[in-house]
Structure 1
């Protein structure tokens, strides 16, 4: 039996300790000017930007629209979707105006006697950075974090330095909405001459056990030369208590990192259920003088991939219950927001999700930090293209020169984070079928092994025949397959790893609150209303229903679990309505829609994945005027094995999960249910036949008033925190009116502001930032943002013909 063990712990960003004067970090958030379009001379000190728009960073210039069919039309054949002929793709990148040039300018002060570095968490894209009229650096890949040493470009007195950034998004450079602009944070770091560089530490845990763990810290230093270096490092536990300490002295030999080893007794191990985090606080002395203090956050845990047996975390066998996500935040666009990310992860955690794949791009550091804190394992993935193109102006233009630089930045930035358990080197790359493709894969995998020998490497492969025959899949640490579930067993038998990962699964499509008859399995189903059915039986031609992936995880130890496409709907890729099918412009793959509202499918996954909670969910809604006396199938998603259906008191009998079909293993279905207005009740029973739960839905009457439910009861007065308010059109008794589509308007008063709204309708062209939005099947979401002063934020919601709604949120 071949066993490969990967022991690691990890950390988050080389975060900075603010308790000393040697190092200082600040976010460059305010005081920026923005201009869309070329601006000759905008990099110079004397350029007049007074007429430019004032913005705060992070900023996505394209999310404000307008939506337009002609934005980035692409006449292409999508080979990974099995297309043979080119056709006009509408809405493929969201129908938003992301293409073009944008300029940003700001001013800053920095100590000219210290080393000064700019760190960009991401800039979309082809970033040219200028300081005081001189180019500091160029970085083409919009998803990668990068940094520039600008010490020699500062004014002598250090005051009023001019920072200018030129960005350009080319047409046909993406397969989804990439966002535009300085959409992630910009950091200014000043440090003494001898200091720890950006991402300059690496922590590993060579031994992990319940009684003790060994911790190895490697610290890189810049400009140490032949100086005598002393590093004092204390390890702090999750409560801030010192649990280990070392003081070591020496010289940096041949530019090798300074190494320290520690023992942590009775460690608190990191896992999704127990996301314990430690800190290593290092003080660096050169010839006895303190020159830097550097804090590395990490976790202690072990990972192990065992042939034939699967994945083990801290010695415990488990399957990945993961989702893939693109980086956009729905109505907020690509501009990063911690509060929005936390809201998404909270919903996924309740569903039972324990892992995130950053498809198909490098993540924002805020997401990785939250996954550390909230307990999500991560597969971080950098590329959707290698050297062979998918998009005319895609990453292939830069791959040969930039791939290693991009990989090194990603690996050094995130190799200390405990949440990261594997690296992916690509997604469905055409190179996988090239006779020399395995060489490119080996090149990337070797970089991962060099920079981080503690984690395995995978790749999302969709061309199974190619990769099984040409050696591509056999060379990877972990073979990852996108769909093609029917070939898992063949791959297991033929590949030496004797493991298979569902690196991308399902691609079931649905529109929240939309149901089509009959309720049956369909590939590439299309309808006049451009929606997909929430009976969760429709999928794309290359994919399948969720039940098949559940069964593979349940039936075979050697399957590692799955990463569902996708956790959330995202802007762009509106399959199956992507070919000349405007106004569709957002995906329907999401388990949760673009408005952060769970679809029915959410409860199917929850019923299987969340072992700690009770799930009992009924679909569809029960307002079917004109279908009286006709069949309206009723499905139930529950963690209980049996349930009984009643319509207006009449029993339709009990259903028990069974092996008659893969759907019957995970769903309870009454295809013969007859519609009559009134009450639908379901009673769930445990394996002993004891009634354990009950759920009722009713036919809604005339729409009467607006009901509001906020995700947060209070917000921090930092001008950044968000509350997601669910808006429901209900009858006088509070029943959701599931077919209401009326226009809803918003007004915010007091200690906050209106941010955006969304309704989850992939065909809706309402602009997110305007204080109005049409309901979609009786619901939508509006997002409000705290101000910077304490008080009460009041949201008022009105709609013609309805009693208005009001909600207050404390800001403190």
Structure 2
């Protein structure tokens, strides 16, 4: 995060102290915390709370930080940037309320210059976080100052925070043009005539371009400067190779450097074509995207960057190339990471506009009460600042290629929905698989006769698009439309550059037929083969965003407690891969891939036909599977002679299946309409071996019958970390049998131990049904595995192991070096 880090030595309490915002309030009994901090995730799960936000509490929290007015602050303009506070934050400096900031996802930049005490004197920043509406979202939000805080000291003649805007309007292999727009303010008492220098550095650090200009700025005024720099043979920012340039802007006054602002940029171009789909750096490309919520499982909303890095690396290995930030702006650090790793990002602004969503019943707006009232209450007053502050912070990121103004907003303007002819609308309605019962002409006529309300979806959308384009016209504006057939006619989609469809692949052709000039893509899609197949068959559809890339907490309406989160992800809450991950790796990755899954015939999706063939219980059922992958297992342990279905997800043209070295059969992918290889055979202990052929390459996978747990094996994802809130080590524990085979059908209660100065951020087994406290060293595994996340507190060595007292087992020891 840009600026001077300001995350250490905060005090925190969930009590309601007397005058907590005042300087001399006694906070000696408050906890000392390091930001980012999420207090909700520190509590045990409570079935009396709400499923929508994951059975974890809210409340009211207070944060305080004392600091001295340093000589460096004297004569400077002093700002604090809170990258994310959830939510309804009141920020005080020395007893004065500086800002009320209700939105939990937008950055909050405040100036405290006039509130500071004199040089050498003490000050206090106090932040009240009102999360008493603990079910104010449809997913887990976290509570507190859950993103970083930075201090900015600016001279009287300065570039404001977020005051630079860099675009690359022209780009080819020979040269690229960098257009830099710089805001420069003179808050001093005198006219200034500074020199402004801009230097561009290549990814290897060599200078690529330089310009300088001298300009007169009267006292109390600001100017907007434009610099156009030419870069020879620009290295493009590619998804496979995210090459970043650095732009350094310097203000020099009377030979003295007053300020230096550094930004990273990328040279890339892209376009959406209503006939041909998406083009990136001149090449036709399908968007292979996933939706991601902002929590990191056991760490809640305060997610160290290494946690995101591990998760994004796994998605990258799957073939994923794009992220949609559902349904809110991401952190500055997350976008930096996407810049570095080469992910395209659709950044979304809002889940609610003028009217609220029912947090308990998505898509069925029954009621909103005190604890579920969300941000709609504040939307009209704060939306422009929330949207545009987010854009000012983020518009230099090369990863961002779309702005989304809203998610499934149609639910909150329900008068249009019935015009489609779909009745009994809900989030699992019949519109998934059928075209609108009413014709386009009927829908248009019915909507045209509707009286206008105080706020209508098209006018609010137009307002948001206008605010967006005031700050950036280089990226298309879109939205996730749950009912496009109505939104085309209401005028909503007219406001957008690109129509995003939410679970509406059935009308891809309808959209192209009736609205041929508007590009289309899927912005929420179930993680099933039929969704990707529909895109591959249609050149005009730019791609999809699967719901979701990773399981998230909250939104747990499908089953009662102990289900605490959504199970729709390719990865689970601990970042372990799921069967759907392997299906999409076989669809999206160029590397040969093969994954074996099993299930008893009785519990499978299949049955034996009269002719002895394995067929679907529901013919063609694969075409209407939705969010959750069917139950299959990664083991070969069943009852003798029990009929077992063996599934394989693969991009190989053919696979030979062997059982105990006996060839069962050779099958070809072209023969499986659902893209799933499948066999049925009677269980006998031993080994399944699959040999896949992918062109001239061969890939082999095995699944072996396992015995009882013999030992615990742990491994770490890195052997060196730093004393830093973003630097963590992931410790994975697996159960093994006597042959060293990983066990996926047995579980034990493990106790994790860490020797050395460290903080255990949490433990989890990945299951959405796991309600063991995260803040623990004890964990019952799921599928024979578990995860602990550890942060080093001091330079030195950590020794990590796991044990099971009930079985007298102790794992191997992993050694992690902690560097300063």
The answer, yes or no, to whether TM exceeds 0.5 is: yes
Name the counterpart of 2:565: 586
Deviation at 1:798, TM superposition (A): 3.4
Name the counterpart of 2:448: none
The 8 Å contact of residues 361 and 382 in structure 1, kept in 2 or not, is answered as yes
* 2:332 is aligned with 1:352: no
Name the counterpart of 1:109: 68
1:245 to 206, 210, 220: 210
Partner SS for 2:196? strand
* 2:59 is aligned with 1:100: yes
* 2:195 is aligned with 1:230: yes
Deviation at 1:70, TM superposition (A): 1.5
Question: Aligned pairs, how many?
Answer: 723
Distance in structure 2 (CA, Å) of the matches to 1:330 and 1:622: 23
* 2:107 is aligned with 1:135: no
Deviations 1:575-629 (A, max 9, x none): 521xxx1111111011101111111211111111121x33121113475766432
Distance in structure 2 (CA, Å) of the matches to 1:660 and 1:640: 12
Name the counterpart of 1:596: 575
1:309-324 matched pairs, under 5 angstroms? 309-324=276-291
* 2:818 is aligned with 1:811: yes
Distance in structure 2 (CA, Å) of the matches to 1:584 and 1:628: 33
Deviation at 1:58, TM superposition (A): 0.8
Name the counterpart of 2:154: 191
Deviation at 1:811, TM superposition (A): 2.7
Distance in structure 2 (CA, Å) of the matches to 1:680 and 1:747: 36
Name the counterpart of 2:19: 41
Distance in structure 2 (CA, Å) of the matches to 1:27 and 1:549: 43
In structure 2, relative to structure 1, the CA distance for the partners of 1:725 and 1:339 (3 Å cut) is same
* 2:20 is aligned with 1:55: no
In structure 2, relative to structure 1, the CA distance for the partners of 1:455 and 1:396 (3 Å cut) is same
The 8 Å contact of residues 623 and 677 in structure 1, kept in 2 or not, is answered as no
1:58-97 matched pairs, under 5 angstroms? 58-71=36-49, 73=50, 91-97=51-57
Name the counterpart of 1:146: 108
* 2:479 is aligned with 1:463: no
Distance in structure 2 (CA, Å) of the matches to 1:369 and 1:158: 36
Name the counterpart of 1:337: 304
In structure 2, relative to structure 1, the CA distance for the partners of 1:251 and 1:455 (3 Å cut) is farther
* 2:785 is aligned with 1:772: no
Distance in structure 1 (CA, Å) of the matches to 2:800 and 2:479: 48
The 8 Å contact of residues 793 and 809 in structure 1, kept in 2 or not, is answered as yes
Name the counterpart of 1:658: 670
Name the counterpart of 2:547: 565
1:216 to 157, 168, 179: 179
Partner SS for 1:69? coil
Deviation at 1:797, TM superposition (A): 3.5
Partner SS for 2:543? strand
In structure 2, relative to structure 1, the CA distance for the partners of 1:629 and 1:212 (3 Å cut) is same
The 8 Å contact of residues 751 and 811 in structure 1, kept in 2 or not, is answered as no
1:775-786 matched pairs, under 5 angstroms? 775-786=781-792
Distance in structure 2 (CA, Å) of the matches to 1:682 and 1:630: 20
Distance in structure 2 (CA, Å) of the matches to 1:200 and 1:774: 50
The 8 Å contact of residues 683 and 691 in structure 1, kept in 2 or not, is answered as no
Deviations 1:107-163 (A, max 9, x none): 123423211001000111111111111111111101111111100000012532111
Q: Which moved more, 1:638-647 or 1:802-811?
A: 802-811
In structure 2, relative to structure 1, the CA distance for the partners of 1:726 and 1:50 (3 Å cut) is same
The 8 Å contact of residues 304 and 725 in structure 2, kept in 1 or not, is answered as no
Partner SS for 2:301? coil
Deviations 1:463-500 (A, max 9, x none): 23321332322331000011121121111222243421
* 2:36 is aligned with 1:29: no
Deviation at 1:431, TM superposition (A): 4.6
The 8 Å contact of residues 176 and 233 in structure 2, kept in 1 or not, is answered as yes
Deviation at 1:717, TM superposition (A): 4.0
Name the counterpart of 1:478: 498
Partner SS for 2:809? coil
Name the counterpart of 1:702: 708
1:263-274 matched pairs, under 5 angstroms? 263-274=230-241
In structure 2, relative to structure 1, the CA distance for the partners of 1:290 and 1:624 (3 Å cut) is closer
The 8 Å contact of residues 432 and 472 in structure 1, kept in 2 or not, is answered as no
Name the counterpart of 1:4: none
Distance in structure 1 (CA, Å) of the matches to 2:20 and 2:63: 9
Name the counterpart of 1:427: 407
The 8 Å contact of residues 185 and 223 in structure 2, kept in 1 or not, is answered as no
* 2:722 is aligned with 1:743: no
Name the counterpart of 1:644: 656
Partner SS for 1:762? coil
Q: Which moved more, 1:121-130 or 1:624-633?
A: 624-633
For structure 1, the residue ranges without an aligned partner over 5 or more in a row are: 1-12, 16-24, 74-90, 509-545
Q: Please report the RMSD computed on the Cα atoms of aligned residues, expressed in angstroms.
A: 1.9
Deviation at 1:288, TM superposition (A): 5.5
Partner SS for 2:42? coil
Distance in structure 2 (CA, Å) of the matches to 1:219 and 1:771: 51
Partner SS for 2:125? strand
The 8 Å contact of residues 310 and 560 in structure 1, kept in 2 or not, is answered as yes
Name the counterpart of 1:372: 339
Deviation at 1:295, TM superposition (A): 1.1
* 2:532 is aligned with 1:550: yes
Distance in structure 1 (CA, Å) of the matches to 2:634 and 2:516: 52
Distance in structure 2 (CA, Å) of the matches to 1:172 and 1:575: 13
Q: Which moved more, 1:618-627 or 1:55-64?
A: 618-627
Deviation at 1:741, TM superposition (A): 2.5
Distance in structure 1 (CA, Å) of the matches to 2:805 and 2:183: 60
Deviation at 1:227, TM superposition (A): 2.8
Distance in structure 2 (CA, Å) of the matches to 1:796 and 1:764: 19
The 8 Å contact of residues 112 and 155 in structure 1, kept in 2 or not, is answered as no
1:202 to 132, 148, 165: 165
Deviations 1:274-328 (A, max 9, x none): 2111111111134655321111211111111122011111111111111111100
Q: Which moved more, 1:329-338 or 1:493-502?
A: 493-502
The 8 Å contact of residues 524 and 547 in structure 2, kept in 1 or not, is answered as yes
Partner SS for 1:248? strand
2:692 to 684, 698, 716: 684
1:722 to 704, 714, 728: 728
Distance in structure 1 (CA, Å) of the matches to 2:290 and 2:634: 30
The 8 Å contact of residues 242 and 340 in structure 2, kept in 1 or not, is answered as yes
Distance in structure 2 (CA, Å) of the matches to 1:598 and 1:587: 15
The 8 Å contact of residues 140 and 554 in structure 2, kept in 1 or not, is answered as yes
Distance in structure 2 (CA, Å) of the matches to 1:691 and 1:197: 56
